[in-house]
Structure 1
Amino acid sequence: MDSLKKNKDFQNVYRNGKSYADKYLVMYVLENGLESNRIGISVSKKVGNSVVRHHLTRLLRESYRLHEEMFHSGWDIVVIVRVSAKNEGYHKLKSSLLHLSNLHGII
């Protein structure tokens, strides 16, 4: 699993990608022409302190990692965590991630 790290990569996905959202997450996807997917997770300070934000990031990374074989290759994926996800557990975030991926047609 590769990560999106550079701001310009995130901006490119925001500008040129498609987005779907649900109660907990917003997901942007854009084809990247590579063999693998790159995933970026964005959690704003509105969601909580750094402990909360890192916890949510780890939950999402892990749910992606465990279901990675379901995803089609060649996508840049940016996931934005909404404030409503703050107190949710792994299973809610996982099903939200998979639901949005399904809407995008990348699984």
Structure 2
Amino acid sequence: MKYSESLKKNSDFQQVYRRGTSYANRYLVMYCLKNQLGRNRIGISVSKKVGNSVVRHHLTRLIRESYRLNEETFCCGYDIVVIVRVNGKEQGFHSMESALLHLGKLHKVMKSEENEKKYEEDID
């Protein structure tokens, strides 16, 4: 992940939950909050309800790899928390990737001409 790092602290997760916006689809929930760092920080959460540790780590790796491969399409300067729902347990890479990109578009954190102009205005 060239432009990103991981969210690790519980306080960072809590701040994104409280102050960020959320959208959901069948497999994932995504919270986004602008940060002032100029790079993205991504956190992935998988509850014990979803499965045992093997299942949870597998899903975490799927989400992380989906993000890594599409990292250039995400705008910089956001804290992103992705939560895997129970329905996502049986899903493969491509469905998780499309769910992640769908939520990115809903949050308008995917790069497009409009978002690039908006991001440049926010920096200035």
- TM-score between the two structures when normalised by the length of structure 1: 0.99
Is the aligned partner of 1:74 residue 2:77? yes
Number of aligned positions between the proteins = 107
Structure possessing the higher radius of gyration over alpha carbons: 2
- Displacement of 1:47 in angstroms is 0.2
**Equivalence for 1:41:** 44
Query: Can you give the 5+ residue segments of structure 1 that lack an aligned partner in the other structure?
Result: none
Determine the C-alpha separation between the residues in 2 that align with 1:62 and 1:25: 15
Q: CA deviation at 1:35?
A: 1.4
Question: Gapped runs of 5+ residues in structure 2?
Answer: 111-124
Alignment-derived partner of residue 65 in structure 1: 68
SS of the equivalent of 1:86 reads helix
> What code does the residue aligned with 1:39 have?
I
Which runs of 4 or more aligned residues in structure 1 lie more than 2 Å from their structure 2 counterparts after TM superposition? none
SS in 1 for 2:49: coil
- Report the aligned-residue RMSD: 0.4
| Structure 2 partner of 1:101 | 104
Q: Once the two structures are aligned, what percentage of the paired residues are identical?
A: 69
Question: Relative contact order, CA 8 A, sep 6+: which one is greater?
Answer: 1
In the other structure, the counterpart of 2:89 is 86
Higher helix fraction (1 or 2): 2
- Quote the residue 2:118 is aligned against: none
Aligned to 1:17: 20
Q: 1: CA distance between counterparts of 2:38 and 2:62?
A: 24
Answering whether residue 52 of structure 2 is matched by residue 55 of structure 1, we say no
